[in-house]
Amino acid sequence: MKIHADFSQRVLVHSDEEPWIASPMQGVDRRPLDRIGGEVARATSIVRYAPGSHFASHVHSGGEEFLVLDGVFQDEHGDYPAGTYVRNPPQSKHIPRSDEGCTIFVKLWQFEPNDTKQFSVDTLSASFSQDKNCSDIESLVMHEDDIEQVSLKKMPPDSSFSVDAENGAEILVLSGELFESGDALRQFSWLRIPTGKKLNIVASSQGAIFWLKTGNLPRIEQQIERVKNA
């Protein structure tokens, strides 16, 4: 399966307009944003767990990162309420479930093999700081290595923000509204910018909070190859 698999193209998806697609586990549905592969895939998705639903125990051979958008996600390691960012590295194992139901934004098979740190961040209680590139913006860096950075940004009303997307960038709007290249991005709109571009964002009069990942796109081919060999 291929969905938005041409990574040389800018892609914008308003996820609330996309249909929910049933997963192999009853009560767990997905809205794919990009995907290469079958049930084992390099994928970016929004996933919804109905109350009481669960997946069987499984290993994340290629790693998994996710942000809880609403409700409470659970596994044997703990409970993760809305606003929690989680990284489960390659070869980690868990039994995901949600007693009350939840929605998560999740990325699979997008880790480097030597990225082995497993952790979570409660972004609702964490302290934001002034963004190093723009004094008007508050930033919370959740993960950073030699390849990529994953952060949350808070933009006040009518502010602007620019980032060099030389190695690609992705945005998920969590609240408020943004404008980029003439497009309006509302809550849970997802934008992918190809390599070699610059990301220029303007917040509406509401301001906005968004998830941002930069630097990860040049390694697409290696990630796809790992999926094929899984």
> Mind listing the pLDDT tens digit for each residue in 117-153?
999 999 999 999 999 888 889 999 999 999 999 999 9
Q: What's the pLDDT at 135? A: 83
**Predicted confidence (pLDDT) per residue in 211-229, tens digit:** 999 999 999 999 999 998 8
Distance between alpha carbon 203 and the CA centroid of its chain, in Å?
Answer: 20
Q: Which residues of 208-221 are buried (b: 16+ CB within 10 A; e: fewer)?
A: bbbbbbbbbbebbe
Shared-domain flag, residues 112 and 53: yes
- Measured CA to CA, the distance from residue 181 to residue 90 in angstroms comes to 36
Residue 195 lies in domain: 129-218
Question: Residue 222: enclosing H or E segment and its boundaries?
Answer: helix 220-228
Same domain assignment for residues 106 and 183: no
In a domain, 151, yes or no: yes
Q: Tell whether 149 is covered by a domain.
A: yes
Co-location of 43 and 103 in the same domain: yes
| Rounded distance between C-alpha atoms, residue 39 and residue 106, angstroms | 14
Q: Say how many domains are in the chain.
A: 2
Q: Looking at the structure, tell me whether residues 25 and 118 fall in a common domain.
A: yes
Residue 199 belongs to some domain of the structure: yes
pLDDT given for residue 133 in this prediction: 80
pLDDT classification of 58: cutoffs 50, 70, 90:
confident
Q: How far apart are CA 23 and CA 217, in angstroms?
A: 26
List, for residues 1-17, the tens digit of each pLDDT value.
999 999 999 999 999 99
Same domain (yes/no): 224, 199: no
Is 57 part of any domain?
yes
Q: Are residues 118 and 30 in the same domain?
A: yes
Q: Is the pLDDT of residue 55 over 90?
A: no
Q: Which residues contact 19 (CB under 8 A, 6 or more apart)?
A: 31
Q: Specify whether 140 is located in the same domain as 180.
A: yes
Distance CA 174, CA 186 (A): 8
Per-residue pLDDT, 57: 87
Domain contains 176: yes
Give residue 56's pLDDT: 84
What's CA 202's distance to the chain center, in Å? 20
Q: Is the pLDDT of residue 230 over 90?
A: no
Residues 84 and 30 in one domain: yes
Residues in a beta bridge with 192: 11, 170
Please write the tens of the pLDDT for every residue from 28-48: 999 999 999 998 999 999 999
Domain-embedded: residue 13 = no
Q: Please indicate, yes or no, whether residues 135 and 213 belong to a single structural domain of this protein.
A: yes
Domain check: are 96 and 43 in the same one? yes
| Domain CATH code at residue 88 | 2.60.120.10
Residues 176 and 134 in one domain: yes
Q: What is the pTM of this model?
A: 0.96
2 domain residue, yes or no: no
Contact yes or no for 182/208 (Cβ under 8 A): no
Check whether 175 has a pLDDT greater than 90.
Answer: yes
